[in-house]
Structure 1
Amino acid sequence: MVELSKQNRKAGHLFAMKTITQTMRFRQAVIEYSVQHGVTKAAIRYRLNRQYIYRWRKRYDGTLQSLADRSHRPHSHPNQHTPEEIKLILDMRRRNPNTGLVVFWVKLRQRGYTRSVSGLYRFLRKRGQMAVPLPNPKYVPKPYEQMQYPGQRGQIDVKVVPSVCMVGQEKETQWFQYTFIDEYSRFRYLEAFEEHSTYSSTVFLRHVVERFPYAIECIQTDNGTEFTKRLLPKGGNTPTLFEAELARLGIRHKLIRPYTPRHNGKVERSHRKDNEEFYASHRFYSFDDFRNQLAIRERSYNNFPMRPLNWRSPKQVLFAFPNV
């Protein structure tokens, strides 16, 4: 796109130069004819006034460049900024190099400046005194801890099924997709639920442990109430059914930083792919229909080659690990 815009500008510049050259050659022809036959005959032949010919004869020095148009921009304007206003603007800009246009204009008005904000904008643009924005502080991610074997850590999250996908259901009906993803192999286990609660999370966890062929050492979740009471004003020290089941199974529970879904990035990314590839093109006519189609989606995902896995599928990576 940048190259294309450069080419367009270059083409426009060449076109303008060509037009100017034709005009300059015309003026040169008029001058040469007037020298041979007189200004009056040249004015009649080329349908010009005599003052025009005299003006260009006076400017002509034998080169085409001397016949080029000069800038028509006036040297001054009755409403231009006064020297006092210019000094005020430049002094204020030195002290406020990063201040935006409107704030800068308000500060000038507090010191007696009476021009409009658009007039100030034109002056700043002309003088090259527009604000220099400070660089935004960028988020510097910590080095990601690569998992070394299946089950070392898994992520669990819940996705609400878009209501547009549910056909023939009451408006208040909600279905939920529970998702487990193994960070090492990207292997996923999906399950449909009609309830979004710590009980559903506990049932899902038991099914994950039964389905996953390796021992799971750690489960990472967000701080939703279906997983923990950590952010609730009361009962924050009381474990939920989900946390109690994790403790019974000997699985460590890792909670991400509140309101930071990127820390649960793998499962969040997989949910985005579900939106794009599954929910955008599927409709469900009953909960059983949704559950069956979700199972097909799970098989499709686990058998699809992925770039992070060197174009192997999650299932291939999972079962290629020794000591299965």
Structure 2
Amino acid sequence: MASITQDMRFRLSLNTYAKRHCVSNAARKYKTNRQYVCRWKNRYDGSWDSLRDRSRRPHSHPNQHTPEEIKLIQDMCRRNPHAGLVVFWVKLMQRGYQRSIPGLYHFLNKQGMTAQKLPNPRYVSKPYEQMSYPGQRVQIDVRFVPACCLVNEAKGKRFYQYTAIDEYSRWRYVEAFEEHSTDSSAVFLRHFLERFPMPVECVQTDNGTEFTKRFSTSRKETLTLFQRVLQEYGIRHKLIRPFTPRHNGKVERSHRKDNERFYASHTFYSFEDFSKQLKTYNHKNYNQFPMRPLGWKSPQTILKEFIQYGVTYI
């Protein structure tokens, strides 16, 4: 319900006084003119709405759209219901329309003819593929060691943590490197395959140049040293979708936990010191740590039970 303003109450009082007395006395008492009193006396029909101010909007304008322009706009709206404002304006200009973009926008907005934007196509993710045994798929990724953790001799240098995690058992192998390249990736892969007690069928990585030349500027699509080692062992290489690190979610989650449990409270004086602390942390605080997805068993226990007894947690 619209509110009753102070002006409306004034006009009601004016009409009531003019009805009991004459218009001249009402104009004299309320300090206004006779025309004002007569206008509101004639307009008043007993309702509050009759005392409300009417719109002062003009009924026409010298620069308003002509009937020919309106018909052109209506025809274009019918043929291009989802075209944006600029595209729609350009199409009109090609057919003789000479108004500005703001003028067109105000007309479309007034007539309720603005384009209805179609919803963006929704990305439907694939259902998660649960692994059935260790080695079915292994995720590998690299992370930079935070510079704030490097002190003394190590200050100003760059260290890297290579991580491989088995998707079934969550068993993880990490190694420290001073170089971030396909050579380091190949060395890390060989060391991981030597220590992992089960054969590996598939290795999943992102599209970094340390793993693949998929997005390299080089015209030759040659294999990296990392991919050659995979071919040597007969392991399939799976690349995740670009710019979607969540597809490598297990290794990314482990890196986040490393920030909370390891890098937030440790400093490293040299590369040897970093390598030693990283191995100790991974063995005690990760592979021996119970996890909820594993039924509150550690990755080491899951891997051991599967190898010895064929026990699964699925």
Query: Considering the TM-score relative to the shorter chain, is it more than 0.5?
Result: yes
Give, as a single letter, the amino acid of the residue that structure 1 aligns with 2:51: L
- List per-residue Cα deviations over 1:160-201 (Å, max 9, x = no partner): 345576567686x43222111222244433322111234422
Look up the match of 2:238: 255
- List per-residue Cα deviations over 1:11-35 (Å, max 9, x = no partner): xxx7xx33x3544333222211221
Q: Of 193, 215, 218, which aligns to 2:202?
A: 218
1:132 aligns with 2:116: yes
Give, as a single letter, the amino acid of the residue that structure 1 aligns with 2:48: L
Aligned to 1:191, the other structure's residue is in SS state: strand
Look up the match of 2:159: 175
1:119 to partner: Cα distance: 0.7
Matches within 5 A, 1:149-164: 149-161=133-145
Report the Cα distance in structure 2 between the residues aligned to 1:151 and 1:273, rounded to whole angstroms. 23
Aligned to 2:134, the other structure's residue is in SS state: coil
Give, as a single letter, the amino acid of the residue that structure 2 aligns with 1:143: P
Q: Of 29, 33, 37, which aligns to 1:53?
A: 37
Structure 1: stretches of 5+ with no match in the other structure: 1-13
Give, as a single letter, the amino acid of the residue that structure 2 aligns with 1:115: R
1:133 to partner: Cα distance: 2.6
Change (3 A) 1:201 1:73: same
Q: Of 88, 105, 109, which aligns to 2:72?
A: 88
Aligned residues with identical type, % of pairs:
52
Aligned residue pair count: 302
Change (3 A) 1:27 1:293: farther
Matches within 5 A, 1:61-210: 61-161=45-145, 166=150, 173-209=157-193
TM-score (norm 1): 0.74
Report the Cα distance in structure 2 between the residues aligned to 1:235 and 1:266, rounded to whole angstroms. 28
Structure 2: stretches of 5+ with no match in the other structure: none
Give the conservation status (yes or no) of the 8 Å contact 1:151–1:218. Answer: yes
Matches within 5 A, 1:264-303: 264-267=247-250, 269-270=252-253, 273=256, 277=260, 286-288=270-272, 290-291=274-275, 294=278, 298=282, 300=285, 303=289
Aligned to 2:192, the other structure's residue is in SS state: helix
Look up the match of 1:8: none
Give the conservation status (yes or no) of the 8 Å contact 1:150–1:214. Answer: yes
Report the Cα distance in structure 1 between the residues aligned to 2:89 and 2:230, rounded to whole angstroms. 62
Give, as a single letter, the amino acid of the residue that structure 2 aligns with 1:252: I
Stretch deviating more after TM superposition (84-93 or 192-201): 192-201
1:236 aligns with 2:222: yes
Give the conservation status (yes or no) of the 8 Å contact 1:191–1:294. Answer: yes
TM-score (norm 2): 0.76
Give, as a single letter, the amino acid of the residue that structure 2 aligns with 1:244: V
Give, as a single letter, the amino acid of the residue that structure 1 aligns with 2:38: Y
Give the conservation status (yes or no) of the 8 Å contact 2:135–2:202. Answer: yes
Change (3 A) 1:272 1:129: farther
Change (3 A) 1:265 1:41: farther
Give the conservation status (yes or no) of the 8 Å contact 1:199–1:242. Answer: no
Give the conservation status (yes or no) of the 8 Å contact 1:220–1:264. Answer: no
Aligned to 1:115, the other structure's residue is in SS state: coil
Stretch deviating more after TM superposition (181-190 or 92-101): 181-190
